[in-house]
């Protein structure tokens, strides 16, 4: 069974940084493209970025609202995905989900950006 468990969420001040982790099991992590999504309170879904498998180049892509502030990395030896978030803004407040590209999503972790 595919299982994704996010961690690292919490309260951070505007301008601060936070790193989320996503521990994966139940599938071959190293060959799987992975994505991050988010959902602001009471709002719809938004794609935050993706990382390709190393065999596909390991490159990352981001939408405009987070480009230059967020980075995604992966440690295939630990079956773990990361989302590094810098220069956080209040509008980044959301539940953050990792996903096996677009197929299976984790339960999410809440990030609150507030002074």
Partner 1 sequence: DIVMTQTPLSLSVTPGQSASISCKSSQSLLHPNGKTYLYWYLQKPGQPPQLLIYEVSNRFSGVPDRFSGSGSGTDFTLKISRVEAEDVGIYYCMEITQLPYTFGQGTKLEIK
Q: Would you tell me which residues interact with partner 1 (CB under 8 A)?
A: 35, 37, 44-47, 50, 61-64, 97, 102-108
Torsion on CA atoms 1, 34, 48, 113, rounded to nearest 10: 60
Residue 104 Cβ vs partner 1, minimum distance, rounded to whole Å:
7
Torsion on CA atoms 41, 42, 46, 51, rounded to nearest 10: 40
Quote the DSSP letter at residue 62.
-
User: Which one, 15 or 103, has the nearer CB to partner 1?
Assistant: 103
User: Which one, 18 or 99, has the nearer CB to partner 1?
Assistant: 99
User: Which one, 13 or 91, has the nearer CB to partner 1?
Assistant: 91
């Amino acid at each position: 069974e595919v299982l994704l468990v996010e961690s690292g969420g919490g309260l951070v001040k505007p301008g601060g940084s936070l790193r989320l982790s996503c521990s994966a099991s139940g599938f071959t992590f190293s060959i799987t493209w992975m994505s991050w999504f988010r959902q602001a309170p009471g709002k719809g879904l938004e794609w935050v970025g993706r990382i390709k498998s190393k065999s596909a180049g390991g490159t990352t892509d981001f939408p405009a609202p987070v480009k230059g502030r967020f980075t995604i990395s992966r440690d295939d030896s630990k079956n773990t995905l990361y989302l590094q978030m810098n220069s956080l803004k209040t509008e980044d407040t959301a539940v953050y989900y990792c996903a096996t590209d677009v197929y299976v999503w984790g339960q999410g972790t809440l990030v609150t950006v507030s002074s």
